[in-house]
Amino acid sequence: MNVTNAKDFAAAQQPPVKPRSTPVLGAHVAVKSLSHTYRKSDGRVLETVDFEIGHGEVVALLGRSGCGKSTLLHMLAGLTKPSEGEVVINGNPVREPSPKWVMMFQAPSLYPWMTVAQNAALGLRFGRRSNEIATRVPEVLSLVDLGSFADRNAQELSGGQQQRVALARSLAPSPEMLLLDEPFSALDAFTRRSLQQDVRKIAKDLGLTLVIVTHDVGEAVRMADRVLVLKSNPGRIAEDTKIDLSDDERNGGSDAFAAEHTRLMGLYSRVAEIAEMPD
């Protein structure tokens, strides 16, 4: 990280804050015969979707625009109730949002006049003691590599740094699952890649279950243990495939990465009925 002023330099001299080492067990998810209709005249958006996600698994939902990815993610988060079927997390049907499963969106939605630390603390303000907030915020800022930016105003940060603050804010209440709806799509390719790697590593280190919505085949190969490929009209799971790569191979450049990318692009193109294109 670049150290650009005295305050950053002082912060860089502090011993790194050790992230909370014992993770919560990542959520187990079961989606059971889930169907959804917004408007009768439009027909079903999702139809008989069934799958499970293991504790600490990283799953990508890959599909074309409008196939129902965000709708499905909102249902996992308890933000939308399915017309039929249910989502069961750790054995309990989901009926409402919970701090145990946190959604992150494409826009980081920070308060620009607040500092990085204040933004990261937002999810902790209710029902927590101030000393708990004072310990947890540096922990999560350190996790997302923003330890020396705590006192900066959010508006002074780049888009990628703002998304890291949003990630810290999501991690602060120690959730069991993170749900990401194309959170990196507005970022340049290099920033996007470093966040993809870091978010996967953080999820694995903490044991978090991670579900990421994407229509980027490369993102799915870099991040996911398993990819569910959705078809459209109505949205259904057409393919359920494992990405069997080591962390080194995921970072690109390897033959193994290229082979998985080609294989997944082939599956996606067949499901989406599009001509194969380079990523």
Q: Provide the 3-class DSSP secondary structure of residue 78.
A: coil
CB 156 within 8 A of CB 114: no
**What residue has token string 């998985």?**
260
**Which of the ranges 52-60, 62-70, 189-197, 199-207 carries the binding residues for ligand ATP, by CB under 6 A?**
62-70
Buried b (16+ CB within 10 A) or exposed e, 13-30: eeeebebeeebbebbbbe
Toward ligand ATP, which CB reaches closer, 45 or 146? 45
Answer for which of 28, 47, 60, 71 binds ligand ATP (CB under 6 A) is: 71
User: What whole-number distance in Å separates Cα of residue 109 and Cα of residue 104?
Assistant: 10
Q: Identify what 215 binds: ligand ATP, Mg ion, none; CB under 5 to 8 Å per kind.
A: ligand ATP
Measured from the Cβ of residue 255, the count of other Cβ atoms closer than 10 Å reads: 8
Least Å distance between CB 38 and Mg ion? Answer: 14
SS3 at position 89: strand
- Exactly one of 68, 78, 175, 234 binds ligand ATP (CB under 6 A); that residue is 68
Among 68-76, 120-128, 193-201, 250-258, which window interacts with ligand ATP (CB under 6 A)? 68-76
197 to 256, contacts with ligand ATP by CB under 6 A? 215
Sequential DSSP letters for 149-164: GTTSBGGGS-HHHHHH
User: Least distance to Mg ion from the beta carbon of 238, Å?
Assistant: 17
Which residues, 6+ apart, have CB-to-CB distance to 152 below 8 Å? 115, 116
**Smallest distance from the beta carbon of 36 to ligand ATP, in angstroms?**
8
- Between 39 and 40, whose beta carbon lies closer to ligand ATP? 39
The binder of 67, among Mg ion, ligand ATP, none, by C-beta within 5 to 8 A per type, is ligand ATP
Nearer to Mg ion, 70 or 161 (CB): 70
Bond prior to 234 in cis (omega within 30° of 0): yes
Contact with ligand ATP (CB under 6 A) among 65, 91, 129, 255? 65
Task: Supply the minimum distance, in Å, between the C-beta of residue 161 and ligand ATP.
Answer: 24
Residue span 30-59 as binding mask against ligand ATP, x where in contact by CB under 6 A, dash where not:
--------xx-----x--------------
Instruction: Decide: 31 and 87 in contact? Cβ < 8 Å.
Output: yes
Q: How far is the CB of 113 from ligand ATP (least distance, A)?
A: 30
DSSP state letter for 58: E
Asked if residue 157 lies in contact with residue 174, where contact means CB atoms within 8 angstroms, the answer is: no
Q: Per rule CB under 5 A, is residue 70 in the interface with Mg ion? A: yes
Name the helix (H) or strand (E) containing 116. Answer: helix 116-120
What angle, 0 to 180 degrees and rounded to 10, lies between the N-to-C axes of helices 159-171 and 189-206? 10
* Residues that bind Mg ion in the complex, under the rule CB under 5 A: 70
* Residues that bind ligand ATP in the complex, under the rule CB under 6 A: 38-39, 45, 63, 65-71, 215
